[in-house]
């Protein structure tokens, strides 16, 4: 409250001057020359205070704070074409199950006797047959299990793509925020450098310093303007990359935030590691692939067992030229057959192939687990490092640098303090302010990546 009260009083004093660019309207011509210098120093203090104001909100966020990025997550989930392609892959894999769990098509045959076969009741003229083959017991179920598990694996691939997309949306949105905050900080520093330039110009015109002080601040200002132009170009690129994730046109306005809440982890390291082992979509996909491989092994064994066939034949019989019992009576014949898997080499090869595939999945499971734990360790390192940097820049470096600048500014207004040191500290303050925003973004990005690892946004197929 004391800071805001002081700021309001400062603003009131500043507004009372109403500069309008003319020193004749401000200063009494009978005042001493250093009155204008002291006034420039005062304006510099006001500019620095106004530049600091928006940054205070980083440490003062309401408990019910909701990031604007949340609205873009669902928009990306609904519109991103790559994610939609993964979902269609899952839907197509579901259609595989009824294909492999259905009996083979029955075989309908027709035969015509060119030379009819004479029988007691008449000549056989044609034969119509219907045959249905049946695999060994449980073969269709094993095929269905293998296909169903692969469909579940495809859903986890979709889930992995969805979680990755959400992380990319968070990351790109944080980058946009960082760019816009960097632009604002640079503009504020340019304004401060312009006040420095005015202060140096007044002292130069008063004959108290050389022209080199004016040239130094002008050089610093032009360098910063060039950096600002590059940052504006970076913003255009970042906006296009963000719209690409959302699959939206360039006309849609992308909303960021005036300040960014520093996100903290909700779980301990051990809890996160346990959730990764239980919920990570990559591991879940490999679990289902392993289950499918086991069903494939069972399927290969059952396909090496005999297959059965049942059928019926209908024989068309012509009439004889005499009176006979059952003269011209058509015949029905039931048939049963067995297909013997005599050549065992291919069936043994199928079993070995399925077993090797299972081993491959198991090795990939172990490699993925190791990689995920390594990624978690790196993300936790980045998170802790970002937190330390936020505290360092926000609570120590920036405050001390501002104090030093204030002291040197007051001295420069009344004495021949080294102006180069004042510019160096202002450049250092700019670097610290940018570094603080970078640290806040790095912390939130690390949290978003950790949430991606343990599948915070996982869903069930029924929720789609």
- pLDDT of residue 43 exceeding 90, the answer is no
- The residues, ordered by sequence, that sit 6+ positions from 197 with a Cβ below 8 Å of its Cβ are 214, 217, 218, 221
Mean pLDDT of 282-289: 97
**2-11, 176-185, 211-220, 243-252 — which is least confidently predicted?**
2-11
Give the C-alpha distances (Å, rounded to integers) separating 23 from 39, 194, 204.
11, 16, 16
* Residue 127 in tokens: 């034969």
- pLDDT tens-digit map of 183-226: 999 999 999 889 888 888 888 888 777 888 889 889 999 999 99
Mean pLDDT of all residues belonging to the chain: 85
Q: How many CA atoms lie within 13 A of 196 on its CB side?
A: 31
Question: What is the widest separation between alpha-carbon atoms in the chain?
Answer: 151
Domain boundary assignment for the chain: 2-100+140-259+279-303+343-453, 103-134+306-340
Contact 337, 309 (CB under 8 A): yes
Return the DSSP state at 393: I
- C-alpha 396 chain-centroid distance: 34
Looking up tokens 């050549």 gives: 343
- pLDDT tens-digit map of 144-194: 999 999 999 999 999 999 999 999 999 999 999 999 999 999 999 999 889
Reported as type and span, the H/E element at residue 344 is none
> What confidence tier does 410 reach under pLDDT thresholds 50, 70, 90?
confident
Count the neighbouring beta carbons within 10 Å of the beta carbon of residue 83.
20
Q: Which CATH architecture has domain 2-100+140-259+279-303+343-453?
A: Up-down Bundle (1.20)
């Amino acid at each position: 409250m004391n800071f805001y009260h002081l700021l309001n009083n400062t603003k009131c004093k500043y507004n009372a001057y109403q500069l309008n660019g003319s020193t004749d309207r401000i200063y009494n011509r009978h005042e001493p020359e250093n009155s204008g210098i002291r006034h420039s120093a005062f304006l510099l203090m006001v500019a620095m205070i106004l530049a600091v104001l928006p940054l205070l909100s980083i440490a003062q966020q309401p408990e019910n704070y909701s990031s604007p990025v949340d609205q873009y997550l669902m928009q990306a989930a609904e519109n991103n074409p790559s994610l939609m392609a993964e979902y269609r892959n899952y839907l197509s894999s579901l259609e595989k199950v009824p294909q492999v769990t259905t009996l083979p098509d029955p075989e309908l045959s027709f035969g015509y006797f060119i030379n009819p076969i004479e029988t007691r009741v008449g000549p056989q003229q044609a034969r119509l047959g219907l045959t249905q083959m049946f695999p060994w017991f449980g073969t269709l179920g094993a095929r269905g299990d293998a296909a169903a598990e692969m469909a579940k694996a495809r859903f986890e691939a979709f889930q992995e793509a969805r979680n990755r997309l959400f992380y990319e949306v968070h990351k790109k949105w944080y980058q946009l925020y960082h760019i816009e905050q960097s632009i604002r900080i640079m503009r504020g520093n340019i304004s401060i450098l312009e006040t420095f330039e005015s202060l140096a110009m007044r002292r130069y015109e008063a004959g108290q310093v050389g022209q080199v002080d004016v040239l130094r601040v002008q050089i610093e200002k032009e360098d910063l303007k060039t950096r600002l132009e590059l940052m504006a170009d970076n913003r255009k690129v970042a906006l296009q990359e963000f719209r690409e994730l959302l699959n939206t046109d360039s006309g849609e306005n992308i909303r960021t935030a005036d300040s960014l809440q520093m996100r903290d982890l909700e779980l301990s390291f051990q809890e996160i590691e346990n959730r990764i082992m239980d919920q990570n979509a990559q591991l879940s996909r490999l679990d289902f692939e392993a289950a499918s491989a086991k069903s494939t092994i069972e399927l290969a064994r059952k396909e090496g067992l005999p297959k059965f066939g049942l059928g019926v034949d209908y024989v068309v019989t012509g009439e004889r030229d005499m009176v006979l019992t059952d003269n011209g009576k058509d015949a029905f014949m039931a048939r049963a057959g067995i297909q013997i898997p005599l050549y065992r080499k291919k069936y043994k090869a199928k079993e070995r192939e399925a077993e090797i595939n299972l081993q491959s999945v198991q090795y990939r499971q172990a490699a993925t687990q190791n990689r995920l734990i390594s990624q978690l360790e790196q993300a936790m390192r980045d998170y802790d490092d970002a937190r330390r940097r936020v505290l360092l820049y926000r609570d120590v470096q920036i405050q001390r640098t501002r104090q030093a600048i204030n002291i040197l500014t007051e001295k420069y207004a009344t004495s021949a303090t080294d102006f180069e040191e004042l510019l160096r500290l202002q450049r250092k303050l700019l670097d610290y302010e940018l570094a603080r925003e970078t640290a806040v973004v790095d912390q939130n990005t690390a949290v978003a990546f950790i949430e991606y690892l343990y599948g915070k946004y996982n869903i069930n197929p029924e929720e789609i």
